Amino acid sequence: MALCVLGIGTVCALGSGIDNFKLGLKAERQPNIVQMPVKRAHGAFNLPVYQALVEGLDRFIPRRALRRIDGFAKMALLSTHLAIEDAGIEFEDKSRVGIIVGSGNGPIRTTFSLLDGIIDYGDHCASPIHFANSLHNALASQISIFLNINGPCTTITCFNHTVANVLLTAQNWLNVGMVDYIIAGLGDEYCDVLGYSAVAYGAGNSDSIQPFNFKTCTFLPGEGYVTYLLTRDSEKSMYGNIEKININKPVSEIEEEILSDSEAVLLSAKGIISENESFEKIDLTNKKVAAYSPLYGSMPVTAAFDISTALVSLKDKVIYPSPQNEANSDEGMNIINQKIKLDKNSSITCIELAEKDSFNIYVLKGV
């Protein structure tokens, strides 16, 4: 069963809302890259980080009501509202709306805020609000509370399996008739501990993510949250459908997938060397290829933003040039460096690394 995308809400370094996201794809808006200090014992280090711009939440929720809500939950709430606004629909029965949230690291900043309180003030001063907000399902819970949505609600935290699982769970819930709509959200946030870890793993040697430079570590941390409003009825979509989701496909089986009718292949390559070793093995000769992580950064759920890119492209009937398309491209790959027009019912395939040498494949189809 295809997943029909009714609306998309993005909050990331390109700003809040799908219009800003599109400006980024068109290269008319630059991502918000901030030099973040990384704590080290022997001097400071500045790491370029794709920092999310969270703007306009007070259009939907009064500031006073957000007092206990941390930054990550604010991203999630804004993204959710934007997706519903983008779809332009109202829910008749909120118990028939499901909420599925996926995140690689969860509310990691609040996790450390909780520890800060314990370390600075003692064991008897653990903040109960920080504790409640540090649970990975806090985002889904806040979405259900603020939007008064009382259908099924779940949270999945599984690194490179997160995006696929959120979408497959959405598919299953719609398929069995548990719900009529799904609010599927995927996000990750940055914090200074992640910055420290990123530097230790080789980030910061490059000022930009070069997704096709498979031999070099060029990843830079990003943060953001994207929400899809999904249903099963294809006729209502302006973006198209998430037509197929195939998980854990070994390299040898990828050929069949990408030899499908897709106009382009979007690689969720984000400059991580261990992932690049697997991406390199996919034969992309003569396929039109793009990678958009330089627009939003490296995070466990980057593929969710790539799927958004594909959906926007299908809606606009144009594939936008791959950013960083001149930088050290691998031989034999036809990296998209100019706009490509798309027909109705075109397809785009997104490829995300699942495990070493196996991939999750998402086929998106326009309407």
Partner 1 sequence: MSRSTLEVSGMGCICAPGNNLNEVKQSLYTGERFPMPPKKIETQLDFAYPVFEVASNLQDMDEEATRTTKLALQAVHEALSQAALSPLDLQKLRVGVAIGTTVGCTLNNEPFYREYHAGNNPGMAVVDRYLANNPAQYIARKYHLTGPVATVANACSSGTDAIGLAKSWLKNDMCDLAIAGGADELSRVTYLGFISLLISSASGCRPFDKKRDGLNLGEGAGIIILEKENRLQQRGADSLAQLIGYGTYADAYHPTAPHPEGTGLKKAIEYALRESDISPEMVGFVNAHGTSTPSNDKVEGNIIAEIFSDRIPVVSTKAYTGHTLGAAGAIEAVFTIQALIDQKLPATPGFEQPDEECRISPTTDILEIGTEIGISNSLAFGGNNSTLLFRRAN
Partner 2 sequence: MALEDDLKKLIIEELKIEDIEPEDVNYDDPLFGEGLGLDSLDAVELVVILKKNYKIDLEDMDKAREAFASINSLAKFIRENSEEV
**Contact set with partner 2 (CB under 8 A):** 63-64, 66-68, 117, 121, 124-129, 132
Query: Closest CB to partner 2 among 68 and 94?
Result: 68
The verdict on 171 binding partner 1 (CB under 8 A) reads: yes
Size of the site for partner 1 (CB under 8 A): 70
Residue 67: CB minimum distance to partner 2, A? 4
CB 156 within 8 A of CB 106: no
Query: Closest CB to partner 2 among 107 and 222?
Result: 107
Cα–Cα distance between 296 and 289 in angstroms, integer?
Answer: 18
The verdict on 181 binding partner 1 (CB under 8 A) reads: no
Give, as one character, the DSSP assignment of residue 289.
Answer: E
**9: which strand partners?**
227
| Cα-based angle 358, 363, 366 (whole degrees, multiple of 5) | 165
CA distances from residue 6 to 19, 84, 237, 314 in whole angstroms, order as listed: 15, 8, 5, 13
Q: Which does 63 bind (CB under 5 to 8 A by kind): partner 1, partner 2, none?
A: partner 2
Q: Which does 91 bind (CB under 5 to 8 A by kind): partner 1, partner 2, none?
A: none
Sites for partner 1 among residues 27-66 (CB under 8 A): 39-42
Residue 93: CB minimum distance to partner 1, A? 12
H or E stretch at 267: strand 264-267
Cα–Cα distance between 82 and 52 in angstroms, integer?
Answer: 15
Query: Token pair for residue 20?
Result: 């800003």
Tell me which stretch binds partner 1 (CB under 8 A): 3-11, 54-62, 171-179, 262-270: 171-179
Name residues whose C-beta falls within 8 Å of residue 175's C-beta, 6 or more positions apart in sequence. 1, 232
Query: Token pair for residue 12?
Result: 């990331």
The verdict on 123 binding partner 1 (CB under 8 A) reads: yes
Kindly write out the interface string for residues 242-261 of this chain, putting x where it contacts partner 1 by CB under 8 A and - elsewhere. -----xx-------------
Helices (H), ranges, the chain: 18-25, 71-87, 108-121, 128-134, 138-147, 162-175, 192-200, 251-258, 273-279, 293-296, 302-316
The verdict on 152 binding partner 1 (CB under 8 A) reads: yes
Query: Closest CB to partner 2 among 39 and 68?
Result: 68
Selected from 26, 53, 89, 150, the binder of partner 1 by CB under 8 A is 150
Name residues whose C-beta falls within 8 Å of residue 253's C-beta, 6 or more positions apart in sequence. none
The verdict on 173 binding partner 1 (CB under 8 A) reads: yes
CB 300 within 8 A of CB 159: yes
Residue 142: CB minimum distance to partner 2, A? 12
Residues lying near partner 1 in the complex (CB under 8 A) are found at: 39-42, 68, 94-95, 99, 105-106, 108, 111-112, 114-116, 118-119, 122-124, 126-128, 131-138, 140-142, 144-145, 147-159, 161, 164-165, 168-169, 171-173, 175-176, 178, 193, 196-197, 200-201, 247-248, 355, 358
